[in-house]
Each structure stands twice: as C-alpha cells, then as structure tokens.
A = this chain, B = another copy of it.
Amino acid sequence: MPIERSTYKDHVVKYIYDGMRENRYKAGEKILESHLAKELGISRAPIREALADLVRSGLLEYKPQVGNFVTSLSSIDLIDSYIARGVLEGFAVAQGIDSFTEEELKQLEEMAHKMGTFARDGKHKALIDIGQEFHEKLFSHCTNGQVVLFTEQLSLKLHLLFYKHWARVYSPKEICDRHLELIDAVRKKDPVLLEQVIRSHYFDTGLKIVEQEKTNINTMKGITDDN
C-alpha cells in the first residue's frame, strides 16, 4: 500500500506519529528502517530523513551505528518537560496579557465549564480537544516566534506520550476550577502572578501524571522492586 505523492518524508513522519498514537510502537522499542521501507513500499532514504525529523522533535532517540528507538521519558524527563512548558507558556501568556478582550475571556470561561462537563460525562476525546483549544487560545497573543516554536515542540511531544492520562489526573471539578483560575489571573492583569499560576498548573500536572504512571505500573505487574 504505497503512499500518496508529494514528499515521502512528511508522510512517513505522520505514519510513525499515528502509529505511536495508536500504541503500535512501545516505548523503548527499536524502529527498523528496512521494516518501514517494505511496509510503505519505498526506499530507505526518505525513511531515514523522517526518523531524523522525529529524533529532532524528541519522539525518537538515536544511537549512532545502532538505530532509532521510541523515546521513553523517565519521570524526571517528564516533569522537566512540563516545567519547561509552564515557563514558556507562562511567559507567552503574560506577555500578551493586555491584549485579551473581555469577550475572549468569556469564551475561555465557557470552554472551562465545557471541559468540566465533558469530564463528568466521560467524553475524553472532546475534553482533550477542547483543552488543546483552550491553551491555543491563551497562547494566541504571543508574538514571539521562538517561544511559540519551542512550546509547540513540547506540546507535540507531551500530547503524544501522555494524552491518555489527561482525562484521569484531575476530577471534573478540579479541571474546571484550575482553568478558571488561569482566566482570573489574566483578568487581574498581573503578569508575575499569571506566570506563577501557569507554571504551577503544568508542574502539578506533570507530578500527577508521574504518580499515576507509577501506580499503573505497580498494579499491572504486581509490586516489583523499585530500581
């Protein structure tokens, strides 16, 4: 089943990305170039370029002369990434704090309430989508291209590796309240406070996901030794 034409590399990137979303690649697993090449009916050259791209975005890790492996973030890496995102997004939103209109804030509030509702109704997909939209809107006033770039990079990585957790780490009420808190901080036009709120938002989320992962592992494999 060969791919549509345009430039193979991008297709391959998307193919692997989707594969990771559908859990067809497990963390730490090795990705074989020749395997993909046969699977997609193309040569190894575009495959290699795609893999290099994914290494660049942090989704794969590369060992010279050995191969590419699906990134498995340690707890430390995970929390670091969430912290970094908090720092960047905090700055981004704070920088544009004055350009938010009351109408936008109302929209954001509405979205926060919707998120609570979706969470209560177990509509995880809708919850995740609107969560993404919420943060994009918050972020939309940032004019700093470099900050946007880094944040998108982090967002991509974290979204892919941990979007399954998002709906479970907070209770529906918590989800709604935490996002309303962000909006209030924007309303107060206090950049320092706002940055602090956003940073702790992401820091807490990172921590909770790590905790949940740990308990998951324990319940799945029985209580193993903690190396």
Tell me the residues in window 118-135 of chain A with beta carbons closer than 8 Å to chain B beta carbons: none
Stretch in A99-107, A144-152, A208-216 touching the partner: A144-152
Stretch in A17-25, A28-36, A78-86, A181-189 touching the partner: A78-86
**Contact of A144 (CB < 8 Å), options: B52, B80, B154:** B80
- By the criterion CB–CB under 8 Å, are A91 and B80 in contact? no
Q: Give the chain B neighbours of A53 by CB distance below 8 A.
A: 52
- By the criterion CB–CB under 8 Å, are B192 and A80 in contact? no
Against B, the Cβ 8 Å flags (1 = close, 0 = not) of A137-167 are: 0000001111100100010000000000000
- By the criterion CB–CB under 8 Å, are A77 and B7 in contact? no
| Cα–Cα, bound, A48→B192 (Å) | 45
Query: Which of A65, A145, A192 has the largest count of B CB atoms less than 10 A from its CB?
Result: A145
Q: Give the chain B neighbours of A56 by CB distance below 8 A.
A: 56
Query: Which of A48, A53, A84 has the largest count of B CB atoms less than 10 A from its CB?
Result: A84
- By the criterion CB–CB under 8 Å, are A83 and B49 in contact? no
Assess whether A13 is interfacial by the CB under 8 Å rule.
no
- By the criterion CB–CB under 8 Å, are A7 and B144 in contact? no
| Cα–Cα, bound, A150→B87 (Å) | 12
| Cα–Cα, bound, A180→B56 (Å) | 37
Interface residues of A (CB under 8 A from B): 7, 45, 48-49, 52-53, 56, 64-65, 76-77, 80-81, 83-84, 87-88, 91, 143-147, 150, 154, 192
The 8 A-B residue pairs with the shortest CB-CB distance, nearest first, are: A84-B146, A56-B56, A80-B146, A80-B144, A87-B91, A81-B146, A84-B147, A80-B145
21 example contacts (A-B, Cβ-Cβ < 8 A) are as follows: A7-B64, A7-B65, A45-B45, A48-B49, A49-B52, A52-B52, A56-B56, A77-B146, A80-B143, A80-B144, A83-B144, A83-B146, A83-B147, A84-B88, A84-B144, A84-B146, A84-B147, A84-B150, A87-B87, A87-B147, A150-B150
